[in-house]
Amino acid sequence: MVQLLRLLAFPFDTLAVPKCKSTPYDSNWPSEGEWVALNKSIDGTLVKTIPVASSCWPGNPFNSSVSCEVVKANWPLAAFHSELPESIDYPIYANNSCLPPGAAGYDEKRGCSLGGLPEYVVNATSEQHVATAMKWASQRHIRIAVKGTGHDLNGRSSGAYSISIWTRNFNKIEHNASWSLLNGEKENVLIAGSGNVWGDLYGAAAEQGRVVVGGNDETVGLGGFIQGGGHGPLTSTYGLATHQVLQATVVTTEGRILVANDRQNQDLFWAVRGGGAGQYGVITEYVLKTHPPPELVTVGTLQIAPRTDSGSLSTNATWDAAATLLSSIPDLMDSGLAGVTMLGTGRSAMSLYPSLKEPPSGVVMNQMFFGYNITPAAMALLVDPVITHIRSHSNNSKLAITWAEPAIYRNYTSFSKVISGTSNVAGGGALMSTRLLGRAELSELSQHKLANFLQKALRAQNESDGTLAIVGLQGGPGTARISESRWGSVNPAYRSAYVHFISMGASIDLTRPKEGLAAAADWLEENKEALFREWAPNTGAYINEANPFNSHWKQDIYGVHYEKLLETKKRYDPSESLYILNGVGSDRWDYDLDSGKLCQIL
Ligand SMILES: Cc1cc2nc3c(=O)[nH]c(=O)nc-3n(C[C@H](O)[C@H](O)[C@H](O)COP(=O)(O)OP(=O)(O)OC[C@H]3O[C@@H](n4cnc5c(N)ncnc54)[C@H](O)[C@@H]3O)c2cc1C
Ligand SMILES: *[C@@H]1O[C@H](CO)[C@@H](O)[C@H](O)[C@H]1NC(C)=O
Ligand SMILES: *[C@@H]1O[C@H](CO)[C@@H](O)[C@H](O)[C@H]1NC(C)=O
Ligand SMILES: *[C@@H]1O[C@H](CO)[C@@H](O)[C@H](O)[C@H]1NC(C)=O
Ligand SMILES: *[C@@H]1O[C@H](CO)[C@@H](O)[C@H](O)[C@H]1NC(C)=O
Ligand SMILES: *[C@@H]1O[C@H](CO)[C@@H](O)[C@H](O)[C@H]1NC(C)=O
Ligand SMILES: *[C@@H]1O[C@H](CO)[C@@H](O)[C@H](O)[C@H]1NC(C)=O
Ligand SMILES: *[C@@H]1O[C@H](CO)[C@@H](O)[C@H](O)[C@H]1NC(C)=O
Ligand SMILES: *[C@@H]1O[C@H](CO)[C@@H](O)[C@H](O)[C@H]1NC(C)=O
Ligand SMILES: *[C@@H]1O[C@H](CO)[C@@H](O)[C@H](O)[C@H]1NC(C)=O
């Protein structure tokens, strides 16, 4: 009776949800026969997880059909993991439980086990597969994970003892030049399955003479990227990827297939546009606005390093130069420039500036500017005063400043291919601390203060290794002009942001995932989060590229939207089957990498 009253009084309360999600060691875990029945009900799309690197271990315990040589050669490639049902880019978040030799964190004594990988994967090709499997799993208190590419920097596309919905095969792409909005306006759209990667969309848009807002790297997927916000080279022109979403098809853990747009399921539509992926439901399809491409793109590169003969005398001059450069960015972006600033210290700086013979004293800068419909001459006119300013502020004889003749790309595709990079990034441990920064944090403080913040932002746990900071010019006019109705649930801090600042520098012991991450998180909290709270107390961080262990994550990631997102989450995932690190309501749960258990703590 008391139980019943409680249930009535707290319809969404935790009482309905058992303390821990099920594991195969629990008596209520489904029998073999039940899994077979599930498989039948979803057209045989259920896959038992086979860690791909099993072939590298004695006896190939999971019978992987991919040879160890192939696994070893491809382990650093994001695209390799993306084509596998279970694999993720940063396996430390799956407990590094089955690595190939040579991989960061490999330990011969570890053996090969599922660790933090799912038990089963649904290789879904229809909404019905997703709906049936999720309803089945949530009724049995089984954790549900969602994987598109597996690129998530914090392993959010995996989870021990889970059933994973793999969206890779939702890969339809259709064009519609006059898709109707609620207000009668017509938009030129691509209707795209969530399993596509940006490279696929860029090609499809180019065929129509259009562009879409995606990321720099073509291998990133639509699924998680869009729901977290999604920034890229066109963000300072057209806003975030999520601002282009006109409709989403969402499957809930209760097995409902919902079309969410301005007309229906508006609360869900709002939440999936910026409120973070993998927590409200599984998106199978997006309707995305396309835009006219720029007719030409100019790419200019400004490099600044200490002169090799100046020794440590140039240290202060480099920090002053970095401060001058960053303080000029809001004005440059208002004038139409986009791009990325890379800052480097110690040995890490040598990757930015290959001509350096030894780790520099101070900081090295590599500033890439993108100008859409801006000629090289016009770009030079914008950048020249900044260079002059740097020369006058910082004793010029101490700095090597290079501004090469900018390159011109006559169409957007050729530009996009060049900046896409090699995606040679997977396989290690990703941990960063990040912040959105606006005029107040870049242009409206003293150069001295800014230089001081930058020095702290580039601090590394191992000083001789040094570190990099990546500053994306991905805000400014593009995000500022988005209407309220298209904004969604993106942290409003993004409205006044000009750049997204990624700071790194923690050293992670990859052989002990749980302890290694905890120690690195402590260092980041003390050295980076504390800095950002002082530098930018009122802004925020971008969920897809943030420190998941930041003690102020609710405020920093979700800002004022947290409570409303939590209510929406409860409405659409009442069994709390979808758990992700930093998800709304995730503070009620503890996911222990050692035991693999996901249990309520509150
Ligand atoms: C090489 C590389 C380059 C990057 N470049 C950029 C960049 O330019 N700009 C930027 O903003 N970010 C960038 N990122 C970060 C990127 O936004 C995140 O890694 C993001 O999580 C990728 O989404 P995904 O769907 O590809 O990855 P996944 O790991 O598959 O998924 C990420 C999250 O989304 C969930 N999810 C995936 N698909 C769905 C779906 N259909 N429905 C519901 N939930 C889903 C997963 O459960 C997980 O929580 C980059 C990352 C990498 C590795
Ligand atoms: C599901 O069924 C298909 C088709 O019969 C089969 O190939 C696959 O191995 C089954 N999956 C599991 C986990 O048994
Ligand atoms: C291992 O997988 C292969 C196919 O890749 C299959 O032919 C073989 O029967 C499997 N062996 C075991 C022991 O499951
Ligand atoms: C995770 O790795 C640790 C070793 O770092 C190990 O003791 C533990 O059993 C692993 N947990 C799982 C679920 O694989
Ligand atoms: C997943 O499904 C697709 C499409 O049906 C199929 O081509 C692919 O082989 C499947 N992959 C796995 C690992 O089952
Ligand atoms: C485009 O979408 C509209 C609805 O918004 C529909 O009426 C029209 O038939 C679609 N056009 C094509 C070519 O599919
Ligand atoms: C560098 O700056 C620091 C702090 O502002 C100052 O104490 C120091 O004297 C400067 N060094 C040089 C060589 O100018
Ligand atoms: C600039 O640096 C050079 C060499 O380090 C030094 O000789 C000169 O006095 C400096 N000039 C100023 C204005 O600080
Ligand atoms: C874009 O430019 C590249 C290189 O100049 C060229 O190969 C390609 O055909 C162009 N594409 C279009 C659509 O014009
Ligand atoms: C710092 O990194 C270097 C390798 O780049 C290594 O040789 C050194 O031992 C590390 N220092 C510490 C304190 O870990």
SS3 per-residue string spanning 159-203: CCCEEEEECCCCCCEEEEEEEECCCCCEEEEEEEECCCEHHHHHH
- Ligand 4 midpoint to CA 526 (Å): 27
- 267 CA distance to ligand 6 centroid (A)? 25
Distance 180 CA to ligand 6 centre (A): 8
Structure tokens at 425: 């990034």
What single-letter DSSP state applies at residue 542? B
CA distance 144 to 272: 17
* Atom nearest to 180 CA in ligand 6: 5
Q: Note the Cα 534 to chain centre separation in Å.
A: 24
Residue 395 Cβ < 6 Å to ligand 8: yes
What is the model's pLDDT at position 9? Answer: 42
CB neighbour list of residue 499: distance below 8 Å, 6 or more residues apart: 326, 329, 341, 436, 437, 442, 471, 472, 473, 474, 475
Q: Which ligand is nearest to the CA of 35?
A: 2
Q: What is the mean pLDDT of residues 282-303?
A: 98
Q: Quick one: pLDDT band at residue 7, thresholds 50, 70, 90?
A: very low
Q: Which atom of ligand 9 is nearest to the CA of 411?
A: 1
Closest by CA position to 390, among listed 320, 326, 329, 442: 320
pLDDT band for position 396 (cuts 50, 70, 90): low
Q: Taking a C-beta distance cutoff of 8 angstroms, is the pair 374, 337 a contact?
A: yes
Residue 10 predicted with pLDDT over 60: no
What is the distance between the alpha carbons of residues 149 and 152, in angstroms, rounded to a whole number? 8
Q: Is the CB of 169 under 6 A from ligand 5?
A: yes
Whole-model pTM: value is 0.95
Q: Which domains does the chain have, with CATH numbers?
A: 32-168+561-600 (3.30.43.10), 173-289 (3.30.465.10), 297-422+432-551 (3.40.462.20)
Q: What are phi and psi of 475, to 5 degrees?
A: -165, -125
**What value does the mean pLDDT of the chain take?**
94
pLDDT tens digit sequence for 33-68 = 999 999 999 999 999 999 999 999 999 999 999 999
| Ligand 2 lining (C-beta closer than 6 Å) | 39, 44, 46-48
Q: Which ligand has an atom closest to residue 546 CA?
A: 1
Ligand 6: residue of 176, 191, 289 to mutate (most ligand atoms within 8 A of CB) is: 176
What is the Cα–Cα distance from 470 to 357, expressed in whole angstroms? 22
More confident residue, 352 or 397: 352
Tell me the backbone φ, ψ of residue 371, rounded to 5 degrees: -125, 120
Which pairing describes strands 120-123 and 162-166: parallel, antiparallel, or unpaired? parallel
Contact residues of ligand 10, CB 6 A cut-off: 347, 462, 464-465
* Strand order, beta sheet including 173-180: 173-180, 186-193, 282-289, 245-251, 257-261
**67 Cα to the center of ligand 5, angstroms:** 19
Per-residue pLDDT band for 13 (boundaries 50, 70, 90) equals: very low
What gap in Å lies between CA 222 and CA 201, rounded to an integer? Answer: 9
Query: How remote is the CA of residue 536 from the centroid of ligand 7, in Å?
Result: 25
Say if strands 399-403 and 337-344 run parallel, antiparallel, or are unpaired: unpaired
| Structure-token pair, residue 441 | 């944090």
* Cβ neighbourhood burial of 531 (10 Å; 0-12, 13-18, 19+): buried
Nearest CA to ligand 6 atom 3: 179
Nearest ligand to the CA atom of 395 = 8
Retrieve residue 66's tokens.
């991919």
Nearest CA to ligand 3 atom 5: 65
User: Which residue reads 């009724």 in tokens?
Assistant: 139
For ligand 2, atom 4: residue with the closest CA: 44
CB 596 within 8 A of CB 161: yes
Are 165 and 224 in contact, with CB atoms under 8 Å apart? no
Q: What are phi and psi of 543, to 5 degrees?
A: -50, -40
Quote the pLDDT of residue 132. Answer: 98
Tell me if 49 CB under 6 Å of ligand 5: no
In this structure, what token pair is assigned to residue 9? 């009084």
**Does the structure show a pLDDT above 60 at 3?**
no
Supply the residue whose CA is at minimum distance from atom 14 of ligand 3.
63
Tell the residue nearest (CA) to atom 2 of ligand 10.
465
- Cα radius of gyration (the chain): 24
pLDDT digits (tens, 9 = 90+) for 138-173: 999 999 999 999 999 999 999 999 999 999 999 999
195 lines ligand 5 (CB under 6 A): no
